[in-house]
Structure formats: C-alpha cells, structure tokens
C-alpha cells in the first residue's frame, strides 16, 4: 500500500503529461497503491476531468478514488536557480510534495521538474544518509546484453576517491532492488584496463574499490559501455564523477538521432529505425532515483511523456516495495567501522 506524490506541475509538458501519466499508472499498478497529485488543484482537476472524458482512459474512471489532490500554489521553473527556488518557494509543488514524505504522509516523490531544484529540495527535506556529502543520480545506459547503471550522472562534479566508492555501493543497491540483478558487478570508468591507468582520483578509487567488499571487475573504458562488458566480463554498475558521467550521458542522448539522420539520408526507413532503436530513446525511459536521500525521490526527464511519468511512478513503487532506502543505509554502513 504505497502512496506516491507526483509533482503534477513539473516538466515541459505538465500538467497534461503528468496527470495522463498518473492515469496510466493507476491502470497498471496494484489497486492498493494511490497517487497524490501535488500542485495547483484547480488546474490539475480541470486537466483530470478533460482526460477522464477521453475514451482512452475510460477503464480508469472507476479508479478515480485512488487519486488525491494536494494544493501547492507555487511552481519552480526550469529557469529558477535551484538553491534560491528551494528557499524562496516553500509552497511549490516540489517542496510540498517532498514534505508529505518527510511528515509520513507519503512514501515517494516523483518529478519531471528542474533536476537541480529536486536535488536541493530532496537534500533539504529528506536529508542524506550519514556519511554522504551529496546524493547521486543514476542513469540506465542501454547496452548490448542488459542496461548499465552509470553514476554519478551529474549531481557531483568534483569527486574524491571515497565518493566514487559510495557511488558503487549506491549503484549496487539500485541494480539489486530496481533492476533485479544479483551480486551486481561494478566497473570503474577509466582510460585503460590496468589499475594504474586513469587520473589521480580514479587510480586511488581503484585501490579502495578492491577492498570495498563489492563485486569489482576493475577499470572499464568508454568503448565497453555500449557492450555492458569488458574483457574481464559483464558489469551492471559503472562509477565515475558527475562531470564525466553527464558529458557521456548527454553525448549518448544526442548520438542516436545523429546516426539516424545519416541513415535516413541514405534511404533507411525512419519507422524501422525508431522501432529498432526504441531502447535508446531516453524520453521513453522511466525515472532515475536520486540515491542517498532518506526516502524516495525519483527524477524524471524534463521532456517526460505520459508513458515516462508512468514508468517513473513504477520505479517509485519498486523502490518502496524493495525497501531500497533501507538497503542503502545498511550498505553505506558496511565496512565503515572497520576503517
């Protein structure tokens, strides 16, 4: 019986995409779960009425009672400075939605709004697990065999070796709880497979990871990411600082459309490509948990479609069902006393 707070005002296509996403989720989730639509109630309820009149959502009409409204008059805009917005807009859908959880009135928060603001607000309202300086954003990279979880993908730009080890621990719990992987293998992103290759931070992190009690496969290179495997075997989690992770993530998002344009010029059918490369379309993906906060805060892409919102809500439910947050707390404590 999970209660998911959805930032109904967050994202480029809100509130239509968010409310439609909530309805799609209701149709798929266990009937015990409910969704809290956080934002300007007048706007959201009007949107809800319009959508429920649509034959597409006819089957969900009976589920209406699983939706509730939580009023939040302010909205944090994409152009707002995260730290200023978090302080200056306590009545925004972002802050109100997170406070529900901190007060025990909700189990998870999902937003497609400003990632920076969601991170700052989540740190402020939910607080971080002991020992962490910042949360990490994990992204699922499509790869040949199975997806690869890359973290951090943008929350932490200047990282020390110990932070890379924390990312590894966070990523392992994510891979276990959300992706269902057992004993996930961890790789360290570097520029050569040998332990002595990399920059100063990565070389030190390599040493620390060898004795961190993880299934560490060693360094992996940029070329290994699309394969999800290096010469020493497959990996589930790849750790890197948020600068490198964000550059590679954004490059990945842009490269498939570029290649598709080149192929379209050569006469390859667009629909065939779209369907074959569906897994590379980030707007179709669900949400990325902000790992390390006490609670559940799921980041959805700013351009989230209703389907993406639905998938983010499903990730939130998984995080609750598997008690991911509790596992993270336990994993972060492992080995700390021994140091």
Residues that bind its own copies (CB under 8 A): 143-144, 154, 157-158, 189-191, 198-200, 202, 221-227, 240-244, 246-259, 261-263, 265-269, 272-273, 275-277, 279-280
CB of 80 to its own copies, least distance (A): 13
Comparing CB distances to its own copies, the nearer of 106 and 139 is 139
Comparing CB distances to its own copies, the nearer of 11 and 142 is 142
Strands of the sheet with 215-220, listed across from one edge: 139-141, 148-151, 237-239, 185-189, 215-220
CB of 140 to its own copies, least distance (A): 15
Phi, psi for residue 59 in degrees, rounded to 5: -70, -20
Comparing CB distances to its own copies, the nearer of 42 and 276 is 276
Helix or strand run (H / E) with residue 151: strand 148-151
Contact (Cβ atoms closer than 8 angstroms) between residue 190 and residue 220: yes
CB of 182 to its own copies, least distance (A): 25
Instruction: Name 255's Cβ contacts closer than 8 Å, sequence gap at least 6.
Output: none
Comparing CB distances to its own copies, the nearer of 71 and 193 is 193
Comparing CB distances to its own copies, the nearer of 128 and 263 is 263
Comparing CB distances to its own copies, the nearer of 48 and 240 is 240
User: 3-state SS of the chain: helix, strand, coil percent to 5?
Assistant: 45, 15, 35
Strands 185-189 and 136-137: unpaired
Comparing CB distances to its own copies, the nearer of 16 and 227 is 227
Angle in degrees, 0-180, between the axes of helices 93-102 and 115-126, rounded to the nearest 10 = 30
CB of 274 to its own copies, least distance (A): 10
CB of 94 to its own copies, least distance (A): 20
Q: How many CB atoms lie within 10 A of CB 286?
A: 23
H helices within the chain, ranges in order?
A: 16-28, 41-52, 82-88, 93-102, 115-126, 161-177, 200-210, 242-265, 270-276, 306-321, 324-333
CB of 299 to its own copies, least distance (A): 15
CB of 115 to its own copies, least distance (A): 11
Burial class, 58, CB count within 10 angstroms (exposed 0-12 / middle 13-18 / buried 19+): exposed
């Amino acid at each position: 019986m999970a209660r998911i707070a959805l930032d109904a005002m967050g994202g480029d296509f809100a509130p239509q995409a968010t409310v439609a996403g909530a309805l799609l989720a209701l149709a798929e989730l266990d009937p015990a779960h409910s969704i809290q639509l956080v934002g300007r109630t007048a706007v959201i309820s009007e949107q809800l009425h319009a959508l429920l009149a649509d034959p597409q959502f006819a089957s969900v009409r009976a589920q209406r009672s699983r939706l509730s409204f939580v009023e939040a008059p302010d909205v944090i805009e994409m152009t707002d400075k995260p730290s200023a917005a978090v302080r200056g807009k306590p009545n925004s859908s972002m802050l109100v939605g997170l406070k529900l959880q901190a007060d025990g009135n909700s189990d998870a928060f999902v937003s497609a709004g400003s990632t920076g603001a969601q991170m700052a607000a989540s740190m402020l309202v939910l607080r971080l697990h002991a020992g962490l300086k910042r949360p990490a954003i994990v992204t699922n990279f499509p790869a040949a065999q199975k997806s690869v979880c890359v973290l951090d993908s943008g929350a932490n730009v200047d990282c020390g070796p110990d932070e890379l080890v924390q990312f590894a621990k966070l990523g392992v719990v994510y891979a276990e709880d959300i992706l269902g992987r057992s004993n996930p293998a961890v790789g360290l992103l570097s520029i050569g497979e040998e332990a002595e290759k990399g920059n100063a931070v990565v070389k030190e992190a390599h040493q620390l990871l060898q004795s961190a009690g993880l299934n560490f496969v060693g360094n992996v290179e940029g070329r290994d990411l699309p394969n999800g495997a290096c010469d020493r075997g497959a990996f589930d989690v790849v750790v890197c600082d948020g600068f490198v992770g964000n550059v590679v993530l954004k490059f990945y998002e842009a490269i498939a459309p570029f290649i598709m344009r080149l192929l379209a010029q050569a006469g390859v059918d667009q629909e065939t490509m779209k369907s074959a490369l569906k897994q590379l379309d980030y707007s179709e993906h669900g949400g990325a948990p902000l790992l390390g906060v006490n609670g559940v805060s799921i980041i959805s892409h700013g351009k989230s479609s209703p389907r993406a919102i639905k998938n983010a809500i499903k990730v939130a439910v998984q995080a609750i069902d598997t008690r991911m947050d509790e596992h993270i707390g336990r994993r972060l404590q492992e080995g700390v006393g021994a140091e």
